[in-house]
Chains A and B, each alone.
Chain A
Amino acid sequence: MPVAISIEDLNFAYAGSHAGALENINLKINRGEFIWVAGPNRAGKSTFCLVLNRLIPEFLKGEFSGSVVINNDDISGRSVSEMGRMVGVVFQDFESQIFSTRVDLEISFGMESAGCSRDLMKKRVGEVLEIAGLTGLELRNPATLSGGQKQRLAIASVLALEPDILVLDESMTDLDPAGRKKILEVLKEMKKKGKTIIIVEHEVEDIAGTDSCAVFSKGRLANYNYTPDVLKKPSDMRALGIMPHPVAELFERLGVKEMPLEIEDAYKVLEKIKLVPDRADFAKVSGGSSRILGEPVIEFQNVSHIYNNGIAAVKNINLSIAKGDFVAIVGQNGSGKTTLAKHINRLLEPAEGIVRIFGDDVRKLKRSEIGLRVGYVFQNPDHQIFCETVYDEVAFAPKNFGMAEQIVRQKSAAAIETVGLMGQENADPFMLTRGEREKVAVASALSASPEIIILDEPTTGLDYSGRIRTMEMLRKLNESGKTVIIITHAMNIVAEYAKTAVAMKDGEIRYNGPVRKFFSQYELLGNLSLEAPLITRLGMKFGIPLLNTDEMVRLLL
């Protein structure tokens, strides 16, 4: 098979940094292969992507050595703009890579730079619109598209230059499950057309279609093998800081030699070796009574909210959240999750209806009174961090609420300890990693000791270990009596950590109840374009709604 990418002795260190971002990388990728690039944050994955189209070292400077050969062409003398016709790169943030005010103009941007004729541009715009599933939207303003559509537009505008290699650097991270699925379909289509595809991704349940996996760790290529071979060694994956495949992990813990990856195969293997879960034991493992909840602390009564453009974002919401609950609000983008949550601390006010916290109408409370009861962590920690040190950031809220100096110090210290940032009090938040900044954001919401804490997408962009640490911290907070509400797209997190699921679609609540019951309703999940986690689906094969690997193991052993 012809080689698409051949890299030898590649080293790169960003200007001003001592540590190498990439060290001694050697690898070959065949033409038409679908590659999954895995690894924890800061392992060198993005750096690797940027090397492929010469943004490194042309645009982002540093110390570069080694050779990169693409389609038998040593690219060392090439400019970034030439590379666009060989390697197309799509980035994570779909808002900031789109420039134009019309879909077709966005797609033609690169071709205009390359000096293509108008007829050719028209032809290719039509072609890539079809590949990306955007036909009919060519005259729309990209600002009016959904996140998934925007990301497919970014893919389309890169494809317009007909590169042989397509690179997606965490391009699905900010998308909802339906948006991710659609992108994966587009990629499979591209693979059929013979393109080489490289995707950087944290979500192990979404990479089933890839051929090979390159695992990066601390700037080195730690493993490069066929994807199933990598997935079948869950302990190696954990050691490298990437999410193990849940089914493989289950079989590892069961001590079974065979290691299936698909649910169907797993079911067959379990049947064959007669390791079949017994429904009668289910009550024992599920702990049956773990969802005993207190008095309602948040109440929505016929709440509707209408945005300036006349669109009703949430409609006639009736919802009661009890003290000590751990609630996951799920649903596709635009279903009204964030709008709903912002009513709880009155960042938004209802057009109709009443929102109460601890029995009080939020409209009658002072902002400071709300802030003392409800902490809110925003989707992007960079939206809320603005102080020069971690301590100042964390102490901001209690200071604002007029607490005495000594209490401010006490509470801030406690919050910093809860998130595990001791010793970093004087660090500049902007110098921390994304995961650490998330912790700063959580600590700064905790420091006023609110009874309720709301987190919008707390795990987006975090790697496997960052994700576990954040979620374990939330679990502890919940166990200490706080009411925790998260908005998330990650169903495995909902299954593992939440007690109650609230599912939204088109501004309405379609489900509100125990998580276990939620994931056992296939029809409802289908209507919401959501899918239960792999282990739950495996459990359902035996008619048992299991939520995680632990439960399954306890039931089988």
Chain B
Amino acid sequence: MINIELYADKNTFIHRVHPTAKIVSLILIFAQFLVFNAPLFILPEFVFLFVLVIISGTAKNIMKMWWVILAFAIMSFLLWSIFIKEGAKVVEFAGISVTENGLMYSASAVMRLTGMLLAGMVLIYTTRIEEIGYGLKNLGVPFRIAFSLMAAVRLLPVFLGAGAGIVDAQESRGLDLRGGSVIRRLRNYIPLLIPSFLYGMRNVTQLTIALEARGFSSAHKRTSYLEIKIKPSDFIIMFSLAGIFLLSVSMRILGMGRL
């Protein structure tokens, strides 16, 4: 049995932050990452995200995805260090040179990308999909768009579950998915994609029918069962992040944190 539920049901301070405030904060955190280019100026926000991961109690869940984060970090490090040609050369290998500028840029890029990834994960792990929907609705996002986002999160386990069942079935008929080289293993998985997808799609159709039967596309204005009160602390969070962002933009205009 597989359990791929993303939301981690806990009751930390971060879990209790109003979903609207969380979504606004996520946008501000993303924007903040884009203000500076110099690694030293990005570092404080990067460190802040690690603190966020720890106080939100999601470190364990995020560690399960370490390979995704690492892959992101390595990819962006390699790409940036190879493609930036300006500045003094540090190393040269087989015609590819890495410059000082390139290293600085790639350090920034790594922090930026993994930082954004962590911020997104904290949101997903600390907020129910219904709460995200509720937050988006408060921000004026149409329900159908909010619902598509919620559905994507809801259906992930459906497709992975279908895949796991199909893997079991084919392994019992002698398909070797655990041995051989990485390429070979990947190739062996290809024939499983079609039935997983078909089975997943059948489930999606079922879900659509079931929700439709409960009045999904009703003409009434949709109400909400969830009621989450916005607290002074939610405003403090949003205003602090917005303040930091505005301050950073001014600093940048004054020429700071540039490479």
Interface residues of A (CB under 8 A from B): 53, 55, 59, 79-85, 88-89, 91, 93, 95-102, 104-105, 108-118, 121-122, 125, 141, 143, 154, 157-158, 161, 307-309, 342, 345, 347, 367-368, 371-372, 374-376, 378, 380, 382-386, 396-397, 400-401, 430, 444-445, 448
Contact = CB atoms under 8 A, between A and B. Distances in A.
Contacts of A53: 213
Interface stretch (B35-43, B89-97, B100-108, B160-168): B160-168
Given A367-B171, A383-B165, A445-B173, A115 B194 contact: no
Nearest to B179: A367
A110 B206 contact: no
Given A55-B213, A59-B209, A112-B223, 10 more contacts: A82-B215, A97-B210, A97-B211, A101-B128, A101-B129, A110-B214, A158-B214, A309-B3, A376-B169, A386-B170
B60 interface: no
B172 A347 contact: yes
B181 interface: no
B175 A378 contact: no
Nearest to A157: B214
Contacts of A85: 215
Nearest to B225: A108
B209 A91 contact: yes
Contacts of B165: 378, 380, 383
Contacts of A444: 173
Q: Which among B3, B175, B198, B225 has the highest number of chain A CB atoms within 10 Å?
A: B225
B5 interface: yes
Contact of B226 (A105, A307, A374, A375): A105
A91 B211 CA distance: 11
Given A80-B212, A84-B215, A113-B215, A382 B130 contact: no
A70 to B, nearest CB: 14
Q: Which among B169, B194, B204 has the highest number of chain A CB atoms within 10 Å?
A: B169
Given A59-B209, A82-B215, A444-B173, A118 B227 contact: yes
Nearest to B211: A99
A378 B173 contact: no
Nearest to A401: B174
Nearest to A376: B172
A135 B110 CA distance: 49
B220 interface: yes
B173 A400 contact: yes
A79 B210 CA distance: 15
Contacts of B206: 91, 93, 96-97
B173 A386 contact: no
A111 B214 CA distance: 8
Contacts of A112: 222-225
Interface of B: 1, 3, 5, 7, 9, 128-130, 154, 157-158, 162, 165-166, 168-176, 178, 191-192, 194-195, 198-199, 202-204, 206-207, 209-227
28 contacts: A55-B209, A80-B213, A81-B219, A83-B213, A88-B213, A93-B203, A96-B204, A96-B206, A97-B207, A101-B7, A101-B130, A102-B130, A110-B215, A111-B223, A115-B218, A115-B223, A121-B223, A307-B1, A371-B172, A374-B172, A378-B165, A378-B168, A383-B168, A383-B199, A384-B170, A385-B195, A400-B174, A400-B175
B123 to A, nearest CB: 15
B9 to A, nearest CB: 7
Contact of B216 (A104, A113, A375, A385): A113
Given A96-B210, A97-B207, A112-B224, A378 B216 contact: no
B215 A161 contact: yes
Contact of A386 (B130, B194, B212, B226): B194
A431 to B, nearest CB: 13
A378 B169 contact: yes
B215 A105 contact: no
A448 B210 contact: no
B207 A81 contact: no
B8 to A, nearest CB: 11
A116 B223 contact: yes
Contacts of B210: 91, 96-99, 154
Nearest to B3: A309
A113 B172 contact: no
Contact of B207 (A89, A96, A113, A380): A96
Contacts of B5: 101, 141, 143
Given A342-B168, A386-B191, A96 B213 contact: no
Nearest to B2: A308
Contacts of B128: 101-102, 105
